[in-house]
A and B are shown apart, each in its own frame.
Chain A
């Protein structure tokens, strides 16, 4: 199938791999290689090409690098997934640049960007988090689903059952790319079909059986003692200026504003911005407005 087109989407000028902890990760680049660097981190189940609308604007001033996290897009799959691995990968990439960079993350990538900046402040000039302020206190679940209130060991038994069946698990193939688009629109109805056709073309592959996601089916099935109430107090450690961006509209994966503000009260140096007519995928829905906001906040 020929690559779909989408107005204003600009494919990366350079496509490289970066090796972190032995894992090969896709890095997509736009802009002058000698310009000051800016690193982009995508959200769960997405990939670096989701920045094809935002990155060209930022590339007028910066060398823009979009890192695709392990288990996603064209990056390697690993045997097990854990949050600190992705944070480590981002720190390794930043250290490889040889000079501090601006750091921008969306959703899960936004939350990880906060941890990267707290761990390696010497690598980060300024930080932008686009709607990555953690799950609600009851945790993320499918829209409308009741939170699982069973005791921890009962949920752990489910995890163990899943691990027993983790040998060679694969995604169900979809007959066409358009079927993937409709599947994704069930979760993100705000995203335009034409955009999703462009974006998901790079996040899936065509096989003899049909279209399958590139994301590792084992991603996001870990288990551990992590708690939402640990998130915000941890941000008291942040020593870089933060721009906290959300969309103005209610959306799936969008935290209620009251929780966002309560969590941001732990950050010493924070600017708050809301982009009009955008939901959770602010940079995909309003790329021009998002870019203007970022270029205003980030130092040249």
Chain B
């Protein structure tokens, strides 16, 4: 386990597997932690790292509680600064974060696998003009176990489809795991991008796609 810094926040970066081959960086879902990727690590031929996002696992909480996906992308980018280029696998809010990073750092992210999970949807595609402020900013739901209570703000940020699509357009290769369940509008927009392809929901098959 390595401690890395994003701004003033200390984060834990876990090396789950050491082996020759391409590097994989795992980004967990809302309320999750690096420990959620032990199964993925066992299936990957190469080094596997998993990050605890701020407010999760063994990483620091964010003083002031201003959690949002672009901040999490800064967490993950700090991990890339440490380990170099890596394929990404993200679940839930970690999938959205992986999209942002794949679009913002195409030189460091050859491919990203997006999986469903907690925090995938965020606060919707655009503001709801009638109740938006109250619904999005009002008091938070009960804390998630082992997490900073304020991480639930990651259920409130807006994720416009055209914003997400612009990141998909800049990304090199995106794999979107489909299991027949409905997906939020940002995911549907990303699915239309030339860089995007459907992947099986079953993890070992999806990882085989990602390794290509």
Is chain B a partner of chain A in the same complex? yes
> Which residues in A have some Cβ–Cβ distance to B below 8 Å?
21-23, 70, 76, 78-82, 84-85, 87-88, 115, 118-120, 151-154, 156-157, 159-160, 163-164, 166-167, 218, 222-227, 230, 233-234, 236-237
Q: What are the residues of chain A within 8 A of B138 when measuring CB–CB? A: 119
Whole-angstrom distance between the alpha carbons of A167 and B54 in the complex?
15
Closest approach, in angstroms, between the C-beta of B96 and any C-beta of chain A? 11
Q: Which residue of A lies closest to B186 (CB)?
A: A225
Q: Which residue of B lies closest to A224 (CB)?
A: B70
Whole-angstrom distance between the alpha carbons of A118 and B134 in the complex?
7
Contact with A along B51-77 (1 / 0, CB 8 A): 000100000001111111011011001
Whole-angstrom distance between the alpha carbons of A67 and B104 in the complex?
36
Q: Which residue of A lies closest to B165 (CB)?
A: A152
Contact of B70 among A23, A79, A223, A234 (CB under 8 A): A223
Supposing A79-B7, A81-B66 touch, asked if A153 and B166 sit within 8 A by C-beta, the answer is yes
Q: What are the residues of chain A within 8 A of B127 when measuring CB–CB? A: 230, 233-234
Q: Establish whether residues B70 and A159, one from each chain, have CB atoms under 8 Å apart when the complex forms.
A: yes
Q: Establish whether residues A79 and B167, one from each chain, have CB atoms under 8 Å apart when the complex forms.
A: no
Whole-angstrom distance between the alpha carbons of A159 and B167 in the complex?
14
Contact with A along B145-171 (1 / 0, CB 8 A): 000001001001111100100110110
Q: Establish whether residues A167 and B5, one from each chain, have CB atoms under 8 Å apart when the complex forms.
A: yes
Tell me whether B130 is interfacial, beta carbon within 8 Å. yes
Closest approach, in angstroms, between the C-beta of B25 and any C-beta of chain A? 14
Tell me whether B182 is interfacial, beta carbon within 8 Å. no
Q: What are the residues of chain A within 8 A of B150 when measuring CB–CB? A: 21
Q: Establish whether residues A156 and B64, one from each chain, have CB atoms under 8 Å apart when the complex forms.
A: no
Contact of B133 among A21, A76, A115, A154 (CB under 8 A): A115
Number of chain B residues close to chain A: CB under 8 A: 49
> Which residues in B have some Cβ–Cβ distance to A below 8 Å?
5-9, 54, 62-68, 70-71, 73-74, 77-78, 81, 100-101, 103-106, 126-127, 129-134, 136-138, 150, 153, 156-160, 163, 166-167, 169-170
Supposing A119-B138, A153-B170, A164-B81 touch, asked if A218 and B7 sit within 8 A by C-beta, the answer is yes
Q: What are the residues of chain B within 8 A of A82 when measuring CB–CB? A: 66, 68
17 extra interface residue pairs, beta carbon distance < 8 Å, beyond A21-B150, A119-B134, A222-B70: A23-B63, A76-B64, A78-B66, A79-B8, A80-B64, A151-B166, A152-B167, A153-B103, A160-B73, A160-B104, A160-B105, A163-B6, A163-B7, A163-B74, A163-B78, A227-B160, A237-B129
Closest approach, in angstroms, between the C-beta of B140 and any C-beta of chain A? 10
Q: Establish whether residues A156 and B78, one from each chain, have CB atoms under 8 Å apart when the complex forms.
A: no
Whole-angstrom distance between the alpha carbons of A82 and B123 in the complex?
15
Supposing A160-B104, A163-B78, A164-B77 touch, asked if A80 and B71 sit within 8 A by C-beta, the answer is yes
Q: What are the residues of chain A within 8 A of B166 when measuring CB–CB? A: 151-153
Supposing A163-B74, A164-B81 touch, asked if A80 and B62 sit within 8 A by C-beta, the answer is yes
Residue of B63, B134, B166 ringed by the most chain A CB atoms within 10 A: B63
Whole-angstrom distance between the alpha carbons of A181 and B167 in the complex?
42
Supposing A23-B63, A70-B64 touch, asked if A87 and B137 sit within 8 A by C-beta, the answer is yes
Whole-angstrom distance between the alpha carbons of A87 and B137 in the complex?
9
